[in-house]
Amino acid sequence: MEDRINYFERMLAQNPDNPTGLLALANEYGKAGRDEDEAAVLERYVATHEDEGNAFARLGEVLVRLGRKGEAREAYERGIGQAEKFGHTGMADDLRLAIIQLNE
């Protein structure tokens, strides 16, 4: 797993805004249980790339795990807007449900 993390970190050192590299690195950090790193990379991704909602959902999930519920809510809310913008009503509904679950 560390080999894959190192690979994507090197890729991003050469091209820091590579969207595929950012998402892949976030995924590998997630598999390794490196929640802070995963959140940081997903935040970087959504700050520099237009996403259709999925990255916001992933960001919200990791922020919940980190106990950062307010930030998670913001990620989910931004994701709803993006999902609706791209016609992904099912994803928007999933993100709304995630917000409801934050309150439970």
Res. 4 pLDDT band, cuts 50 70 90? very high
User: Is pLDDT of 10 > 90?
Assistant: yes
In tens, the pLDDT along 36-78 reads 999 999 999 999 999 999 999 999 999 999 999 999 999 999 9
Domain ranges of the chain: 1-49, 52-104
What amino acid occupies position 81?
Answer: G
Neighbouring C-beta atoms of residue 40, cutoff 10 Å: 15
SS3 assignment, position 31 = helix
Burial class (CB in 10 A: 0-12, 13-18, 19+), 15: exposed
The stretch 78-87 carries a mean pLDDT of 96
